[in-house]
Amino acid sequence: MPNMHKKEFDEGTEVKLELFKTYMKAWISIVNVTASKAVYIYDLFSGPGKDAKNSKGSPLILLDILMDNCKLIKQQGTYFEILFNDALKQNIESLETECNKAIEECKKTNSCVNTCPFNITYRQNDFENIFPKVVEEINMNINPFSFIFLDQYGIKHVDKENFLKLLPLKKTDVLFFSASADVWRFRETEAFKKYIDINKITFKGKKYPHCHKILVDYYKSLVPEELKENLYIAPFSIKKEKSGMIYGLTFITHNLLGLEKFISAAWKIAPDTGEANYNIENGKMEQNMGQGLLFEEPSKKLDLYQKDVCVFLEKGRTNKEIYEYSLVQGISITETNNILKKLEDSKSIKINVIGNENRRKHAYYLNFKTEEKVRIYYEQHKN
């Protein structure tokens, strides 16, 4: 396995790590206030901690978040069990050194004499050996709040078998990386077909900029009917500027709040589309991937989404229905609220209050906890 950390992180890796960081900040804040006091985090392709330029990889980013939230975590009585694994011995040895150094610096800076509210275990294992043990541990702990990060090299480690093992883990959020361009480039090779069932992927009429979405649609097609309820899978596509190669992150959760936090993080990273660091819908890409993307016009994603929302509201929808619809469509709640404001100001929607709620203007109650408070109808203007 190549050691990618001997080089500097490229712009695509930086985008991936920024999305990881943004989501983990939100996730740790959420699980810290749950009834569950033991939380488990698994980074199974952890690397050595830093790249050639001393930029931090996912384990040190996670460690920074935990140390920044140390007091709040202790106040809640939450404890984090962390597993960092890598196949290369030198990576794990380097990572343990970097983590210990960071923890000691934190203790000195904050004059801390107490123990940290987390424990880190370091392992050197091939993915094929460690992954079944992680799944077994989560099941043995009666499905605790957990997070699994699989920053694989290529695509082979998240094949059909391993993907299906992740789905029954009801309280586990998963984020995994895929070299999605490989699906496009090598789909006809026999070696590639060992990992991906090409017969279940539709390439006809598709464009290369969508290759990660194509891969995620494939994963969605594998989900058994009995596991589809309350299962949410979301993509984020990443283009490397120099090579034009497209990769991606796939997020899996059984919780709408988890999906909300991931979609929100994605829109912070990519404020035009919330699903890619390039113009995935309106840009053109040369078939010679080294030439990259050529942008023709700004993204029209939100314009198209507004039209879809109007159709969705024709029969009248509650705030809870609109909340879920927004997230499943990959649109942040902030953007959906902005669209509803425009529709209300133009008198294009009618809002019926449910119960005795005193509603103020521009209040749509799109959040995880709120019960049904309003039903919103789209009313097409008549000439």
pLDDT digits (tens, 9 = 90+) for 208-245: 899 999 999 999 999 999 999 999 999 999 998 888 89
pLDDT digits (tens, 9 = 90+) for 252-280: 999 999 999 999 999 999 999 999 999 88
Q: How confident is the model at residue 113 (pLDDT cuts 50, 70, 90)?
A: low
CB atoms within 10 A of CB 124: 15
Angle at which helices 333-345 and 256-269 pack, to 10 degrees?
Answer: 80
Which class for 77: exposed (0-12), middle (13-18), buried (19 or more C-beta within 10 A)? Answer: exposed
Q: Which CATH class is domain 4-294?
A: alpha beta
- Run of H or E including 311: helix 301-312
pTM of the model: 0.92
Residue 132's contacts (CB-CB under 8 Å, 6 or more residues apart) are 165
Look at residue 362 and tell me whether its pLDDT is greater than 90: yes
- Run of H or E including 290: none
pLDDT digits (tens, 9 = 90+) for 49-97: 999 999 999 999 999 999 999 999 999 999 999 999 999 999 999 999 9
